[in-house]
Amino acid sequence: MKKVILILTLVGFVFAGDLTTPIPRKIDINNELALAGKELFFDKALSYDKSLSCASCHNPKYGWADNRAKSIGVKNQIDDINTPTVLNSIFNFRQFWNGRVDTLQKQLDDTFHNPIEMAMSRSLIEKRINYTSKYKKLFNKEYIEYKDVLDAISEFVKSLITPDSKFDKFLRDEVKLSKKERDGYKLFKKIGCITCHNGINMGGNSFQKIGTIYKFEDCVGDKFSITKKEIDRCVFKVPTLRNIALTAPYFHNGSSKTLKDAIIKMAHFNLGFPLDKEEVENIEAFLKTLTGEILYRDEDE
Amino acid sequence: MSRTIFNKKSIVFLLVGILIVTLLVIFYNQREGYFYNSNKVQLSLDKIGHKEINLNYIFLESTIFLYSNNDDLVRSISDLKDEISKLEKNEFFKKNYGSLYKKFKNDYAVNIDKKIEMIYEFNSINSTIKNSNTFLLYSISKFPKEHMSGENKFPVEYIHSLISTISNIFLSKNSLKNFIEKENIDKLENFKFHDKGQEKINKNIVAHLKMIYEKFPIYKDLLKKITHEHTLVTLAEINNNFFNKNLKTLKNVNYVFVLIIGLVIFYTLFVIFLFSRIDRENLKLKRVSDKLKKSIKTDILTGLYNRYKYEKDIEKSSGKDVLYLVNINKFKQINEYYGTKIGDLTLKKVGEILKKQTTSYGANIYRLGADDFGILISSEKNRDLIYSNLSRKIVEWFENNEIEVENLKFKVSVCIGISDSSPYFEKADIALRVAKDSHRLKCMQYSEEYNRAKEIENNINKSKILYDAIKYNRVIPFYQPIVNIETKEIEKYEVLARVLHEDGRVETIFPYLQIAKDNKMYYSITMAILKKSIKEFSAYKNLNFSINFSIEDILDEKIIAYLEEISIKNSYIFDKITFELLESEAIDDYNEIKLFIEFVKARGAKVAIDDFGSGYSNFEHLLNLDIDFLKIDGSLIKHIDTDESSKRIVSLISQFAKESGIEVVAEFVENEKICQILKELDVKYAQGYYFFKPSQKIF
């Protein structure tokens, strides 16, 4: 009797509104600024030894992320964390794996000043940017300030959204999912993936611990490294599952090379039970429907 | 003087008024700005409150529901944080409500940040627990059909323990009290299974249970902390304090506002009061000025218009007015007889009468001089009728009525001069003088003949000429022979006074005689002629002369004294002189004349009456005088050849003279015919142009 009441209670409070929403087809962008940002995004002059541009690690070829587990910074230094995609990053509630900043500008500032990553200073960036007339024209400005650089790149990144994924179309009742995909989505909800991977970005809107049921060993760059609070150990910003098929390898340390592996690992560490082969395939099929149209076309290259 | 003070005053009033209004406007704007800003803060505080409540709601939703969209939570958090940072940037709040601002920033905002951190932390734990709950429910839901039957069924003891533990978990979660027993979990963990699958299932279940056991206290604690967070209370406090402080300020502001409004009202009333006072003063001034104006126009004694008003009216005159200048006859006598008080009252009375008599004519009555009244009638109709009617009416009234002043009743007679053209007053005055001079006429309308102005000018001229003549010894005797008509021989000479002008022209003295009389120069003329003729005739033993003597001369003691002196020095000369006394003058005192005649006759002189028959000739009186000659007036002789009555009168005189033993002399004998008639009428002597003209020399 007790059991029945409990189940009924649970069933009564399963969903609270829409758990996810489609990516909008359009977003308000200052086009001129975004164009300047695009130039900057691909400009290697923004790294200390001019070896890297933003695109070196946020590589359009790999879903605007890095295909390497850990990215390489200036002077061939190896970064300590996997590069997340910049796609749809405007929809994330915080930036970086540990969510230490809340705006794209701050993310950029952090990355520029990181000695392992771009290793730049404010003045050096301004010097490099104002060296040629290229940016003066783009910005329509005599002297480009550091802030202008941050704003421009942010504006460009903001424009990198991926609407019209199969899943979004499904949400808008434009297409139907295949059986596998549908079963995957059902499972995704049923077993609790959606508890953390929800919202417009299917993630990116809360802090969660990796390895809640079974401990995840490698938690480098977690929230604890910022707050030093015990409760923040292994806590990261939940990564987005949008375009997840494009952005291997997975996790903060890039430890999963395939999507299947990542699904199995998440089931084990965070859900605390194994999934059978079919279940994994179904979820994978569903996750692949999250790949959207990238508005940016790499026409220049 | 007073005007400039008023202007200064009004400028000060204006400035003060402007100052007050400016103050009001500035204050009003400040007040409005203050209210705008404080309302903004109030609104912001309210919004923050709402947003926090919204956050609480969404947070609670996420704890109750199994699945929730974290985007909602994130959005409500960022909404709240945006609103807070907006208020943190509000300078007005920071400046004017320092302590509240500090409390807001250091207490509320900081605790909100903590709360948000806790919400995120809770969210992590909650997600895990929710998922575990789902897993556990999912797991036990499988037991009846998969694990409780067949070969690999779980032991009942295990199942019992598991269900009990899971039930406790749900109980704990719903009651927020920890009913989870570690022993139970340990018991489950240590349960021995033969089946590897069962062991694996148990392992996962225990891992979940352990996790829940571990996290539940934190879960409970965080939930308590978040739901019991004081932020909303703090915010309510801030809001309340702000409201009260604002209310207090509002009250003060309103007091000041009312004060300023009061000031404005007071000032307005004050200005109104000033205006009304000025009005009252103006009214007073107007009354005074009216009085003054009236007094300027009015004669104080009679209450009639005065000379000034008359001048003003005349300036406006159409030129078709009629002025009656009414003068009281012998007013001086009234004054002297009854005293000036009665005199004044008489004037007043006369004024009243004139007013009464002229009411129907629409006349203005003026007092123009001491006893001169003016009646100005502007009517253009029946002018002739008006003159005669009105003047007659006035004159008759005074003739028929007595006036009564202070119980005294007496008659007053008036004389009226009338003029109907400019200059009215002067012309009416001339007419009045003419009427007066006539002694008979009571009213007279001006006519050009009476142009006294010319006369006056003449008089002035004449008196000047005469004065000079006397001064420079140019009053000289001319001699006209008197002839015996019978023998045609010169019997004697009449000495005639002539004025010798500077240019050598000789003029008869007659035009100057009145002037001489009026100006006390008569004596000089008589003396000059007397002396010169005496001197002249002293040289001729057989020549006699006659000399004109007026009543003034007779009464002049100096002349008499001179004659006496002559008679002593040169007694024979009196035998030569005939004194011709001018008959035409009214002789009042015959005794004086008698005495004079006696005086000269005693010394051998003869006496004649000159101009006999012209004026007041009184035969009876003449008979009483011891005279030698009668000189018949020229006016009778001149026309004796044509006028029968003249001839008769002359004949009568001649007869009378002859009977009285008086010789008769005729003047103005200008032709043979007259001479002939005179001869017939028994006139013995004659003079005139027919015989000789007067000349400077003696023939």
Query: How far from A264 is each of A95, A178, A239, A289, B84, CA to CA, in Å?
Result: 26, 22, 16, 18, 43
What's at B341, amino acid-wise? K
Gap between the Cα atoms of A119 and B553, Å rounded: 154
Q: Is residue B536 part of a domain?
A: yes
- In a domain, residue A296? The reply is no
Decide if B615 is inside a domain. Answer: yes
- A132 plus A48 within the same structural domain: yes
Q: Look at residue B540 and tell me whether its pLDDT is greater than 60.
A: yes
User: Does any CB of chain B come closer than 8 Å to the CB of residue A92?
Assistant: no
Chain B partners within 8 Å of A188 (Cβ): none
Give whichever of A274-288, B11-25, B342-356 has the largest mean pLDDT: A274-288
**Residue B590: its pLDDT value, please?**
76
| Residue A114: inside a domain | yes
pLDDT in tens, B57-82: 999 888 888 888 999 999 999 999 99
Determine the average pLDDT of the residues in B270-295.
87
Q: Which of A5-14, A208-217, B421-430, B433-442 has the highest mean pLDDT?
A: A208-217
pTM across the whole model: 0.59
The tens digit of pLDDT for each residue in B476-507 reads 999 999 999 888 888 899 999 999 888 888 88
What value does the mean pLDDT take over residues A32-44?
A: 94
The nearest CA of chain A is from the CA of B67 a distance in Å of 5
pLDDT in the model for residue B615: 58
- Domain of B134? 13-233
Q: Who's near B673: CB < 8 A, 6+ residues apart?
A: B641
Question: Any idea of the CA torsion for B66, B71, B77, B81, to the nearest 10 degrees?
Answer: 180
Model confidence over B85-143: pLDDT tens digits? Answer: 999 999 999 998 899 999 999 999 999 999 999 999 999 999 999 899 888 888 888 77
Task: Name the residue in chain A with its Cα closest to that of B131.
Answer: A192
A220 touches chain B (CB under 8 A): no
| CB-CB neighbors (< 8 A) of B163 in chain A | 3
* Domain endpoint, select from B416, B450, B484: B450
Identify the weakest region by mean pLDDT among A60-64, B445-449, B633-637. B445-449
A251 in the same domain as A132: no
Q: Which residues 130-159 on chain B approach chain A with CB closer than 8 angstroms? A: 130-135, 137-138, 140-141
Residue A10: pLDDT above 60? no
Interface contact A266, partner B, CB < 8 A: no
Residue A17: inside a domain, yes or no? yes
Marked catalytic residue, from A39, A117, A155, A181:
A117
Show residues of chain A in contact with B140, CB under 8 Å: 3
Residue of A9, A98, A100, A205 to mutate when probing chain B, most B C-beta within 10 A: A205
**Position with higher pLDDT, B394 vs B447:** B394
If asked whether residues A46 and A152 sit together in one domain, one would say yes
CATH for B353 = 3.30.70.270
Query: Is the model's pLDDT at B309 over the cut of 90?
Result: no
Identify the bridge partners of residue B414 per DSSP, sorted by sequence position. Answer: B328
Tell me, yes or no, whether B396 and B528 share the same domain: no
The total number of residues shown for chain A amounts to: 301
> Mutating which of A195, A222, A229, A232 best tests the B interface, going by the most B Cβ atoms within 10 A?
A195
Q: Which long-range contacts (CB under 8 A, 24 or more apart) does B671-679 make?
A: B671/B641, B673/B641, B674/B637, B674/B640, B674/B641, B675/B485, B677/B640, B677/B641, B677/B647, B678/B485, B678/B637, B678/B640, B678/B650, B679/B485, B679/B486
Last residue within a domain, chosen from A137, A158, A179: A158
Q: Considering the domain boundaries, does residue A261 fall inside one?
A: yes
> Both A183 and A99 in a single domain?
no
Both A127 and A191 in a single domain? no
Provide the residue range defining the domain that includes A81. 31-158
Question: What is the per-residue DSSP string for A230-295?
Answer: GGGTTEEEPPP-TTGGGS-SBTTTT-B-SHHHHHHHHIIIII-S---HHHHHHHHHHHHTT----S
The residue from A100, A129, A158 where one domain ends is A158
DSSP calls for A142-167 = SS--HHHHHHHHHHHHHT------HH
Are A237 and B124 spatial neighbours (Cβ–Cβ below 8 Å)?
Answer: no
Yes or no, beta carbons of A19 and B62 under 8 Å apart: no
Q: How far is B207 from chain A, CA to nearest CA, in Å? A: 6
Residue A295 within a domain? no
Has residue A298 been placed in a domain?
no
Does residue B434 form part of some domain? yes
Position B6 in a domain:
no
Helices (H) and strands (E) counted in chain B, each on its own, are 25, 17
In this structure, the answer to whether residues B682 and B540 fall within a common structural domain is yes
Model confidence at A259: pLDDT above 50: yes
Choose between B656 and B78: higher pLDDT.
Answer: B78
Q: Which of A10, A207, A209 sits opposite B66 (nearest CB)?
A: A10
Which residue, B217, B233, B249, sits at the end of a domain? B233
**B44 Cβ contact list (under 8 Å, min separation 6):** B83, B86, B87, B90, B93
CATH number of the structural domain spanning residue B478: 3.20.20.450
Residues A173 and A243 in one domain: yes
Interface contact B179, partner A, CB < 8 A: no
B310 contacts: CB under 8 Å, gap ≥ 6: B364, B366, B368, B374, B376, B425
Higher pLDDT, A280 or A5: A280
Instruction: Decide if B163 contacts B211 (C-beta within 8 A).
Output: no
Phi, psi of B405 (to 5 degrees): -130, 120
* B489 and B425 within one domain: no
Looking at the structure, tell me whether residues B375 and B487 fall in a common domain: no
| Tens-digit pLDDT profile for residues B127-146 | 999 899 888 888 888 776 66
A-proximal residues of B, 70-89, CB under 8 Å: 70-74, 78
pLDDT given at position B381 = 56
Structure tokens at B153: 């069924």
Region B364-381 average pLDDT: 83
Look at residue A170 in the predicted model and tell me its pLDDT.
94
Residue B65 lies in a domain: yes
| Residue closest to A55 by CA, chosen among A12, A140, A46 | A46
CA angle B333, B335, B339 (to 5 degrees): 130
CA distances (Å), B639 to each of A109, B37, B646, B669, in order?
155, 128, 7, 10
Assigned token pair, A299: 């026409």
In a domain, A294, yes or no: no
pLDDT, tens digit, 9 for 90 and up, residues B660-694:
888 899 988 888 888 888 888 889 999 988 888 88
Of residues B62, B69, B211, nearest to A212 (C-beta): B211
Q: Which residue has the tokens 């099929």?
A: A285
User: CB distance B124–A208 less than 8 Å?
Assistant: yes
Q: A232 and A138 in one domain? A: no
Using left for φ > 0, alpha for ψ between -120 and 50, and beta otherwise, residue B225 falls in alpha
Tokens at B328, concatenated: 């009281």
Residue among B603, B655, B595 at smallest CA distance from B625: B595
pLDDT: which is higher, A267 or B423: A267
Report the residue from B78, B127, B138 with minimal CB separation from A208: B127
Domain tally, chain A: 2
Q: Calculate the average pLDDT of chain B.
A: 85
Average pLDDT, chain A: 90
- For residues A198-218, one letter each, b for 16 or more C-beta atoms within 10 angstroms of the residue's C-beta and e for the rest, the string is bbbbbbbbbbbbbbbbbebee
Q: What pLDDT, on the 0 to 100 scale, is given for residue B152?
A: 65
Query: How far away is chain B from the Cα of A239, in angstroms, using its nearest Cα?
Result: 13
Would residue A117 show up in a list of annotated catalytic residues for this protein?
yes
Q: What is the pLDDT of residue B454?
A: 65
Q: Indicate if B388 and B345 belong to the same structural domain.
A: yes
pLDDT tens for each residue of B213-256: 999 999 999 999 998 888 999 999 999 999 998 888 888 888 88
Per the domain annotation, does B275 fall within a domain? no
| Same domain assignment for residues B467 and B389 | no
Q: Flag whether pLDDT at B617 surpasses 70.
A: no
Q: Do B385 and B507 fall within a single domain?
A: no
Domain end (from A158, A189, A219)? A158
- Report the pLDDT averaged over residues B194-203: 86
Whether residue A17 and residue B68 make contact (CB cut-off 8 A), yes or no, is: yes
pLDDT (average), residues B433-445: 77
Residue B453 has pLDDT above 70, yes or no: no
Q: Chain B: nearest CA to A197, how far in angstroms?
A: 9
- Answer whether residue B117 is part of any domain: yes
Does residue A9 carry a pLDDT above 50?
A: no
**What are the residues facing B305 on neighbouring strands?**
B298, B366
What does the pLDDT read at residue B148? 63
**Residue of A212, A214, A229, A241 to mutate for B, most B C-beta atoms under 10 A:** A212
Q: For residue B96, count other CB atoms closer than 10 A to its CB.
A: 18
**Residue in A2, A198, A207 closest to B167 by CB:** A2
Is residue A189 included in any domain, yes or no?
yes
pLDDT at B521: 82
Q: What is the DSSP letter of B146?
A: I
**Judgement on whether residues A227 and A265 belong to the same structural domain of the protein:** yes
> Residue A171 has what pLDDT?
92
In a domain, B299, yes or no: no
Domain stop point among B233, B268, B293: B233
Q: Has residue A110 got a pLDDT over 90?
A: yes
Checking if the pLDDT of A175 tops 90, the result is yes
What local confidence, expressed as pLDDT, does residue A11 receive?
Answer: 44
Q: Quote ipTM for the complex.
A: 0.90
Q: Do A111 and A47 share a structural domain?
A: yes
Same domain, yes or no: A172 and A264: yes
Pair (A153, A168) in one structural domain: no
CA distance A272 to chain B (A): 6
Judgement on whether residues A40 and A112 belong to the same structural domain of the protein: yes
> In this structure, are B591 and B679 located in the same domain?
yes
DSSP, residue by residue, B261-320: HHHHHHHHHHHHHHHHHHHHHHHHHHHHHHHHHHHHHB-TTT-SB-HHHHHHHHHT--S-
Rounded CA gap, A191 and B473, in Å? 168
Average pLDDT for A183-210: 94
pLDDT band at B384 (very low <50, low <70, confident <90, very high): low
Q: Residue B520 carries which DSSP code? A: T
Percentage of chain B lying above the pLDDT 70 cut: 93
Number of domains composing chain B: 3
Q: Domain check: are B552 and B659 in the same one?
A: yes
Q: Tally the residues of chain B.
A: 699
Same domain, B424 and B485: no
**Which of the four pLDDT bands, split at 50, 70 and 90, describes residue A12?**
very low
Q: Does B170 touch chain A (CB under 8 A)?
A: yes
Residue A258 has what pLDDT?
A: 96
Read off the pLDDT of each residue in A223-232 and give the average, rounded to a whole number. 93
Specify the 3-state DSSP secondary structure of B507: strand
What CATH number has the domain bearing residue A233?
Answer: 1.10.760.10
Q: What is the pLDDT of residue A300?
A: 43
Q: Which two tokens stand for residue A91?
A: 């929809």
Report the SS3 class of residue B543: coil
Q: Chain A contacts of B133, Cβ < 8 Å?
A: 10
Whether residue B435 sits in one domain with residue B474: no
Task: Please judge whether B140 and A3 are an interchain contact, meaning their C-beta atoms are less than 8 angstroms apart.
Answer: yes
Cβ distance of A191 and B134 shorter than 8 Å: yes
- B59 and B112 in a single domain? The answer is yes
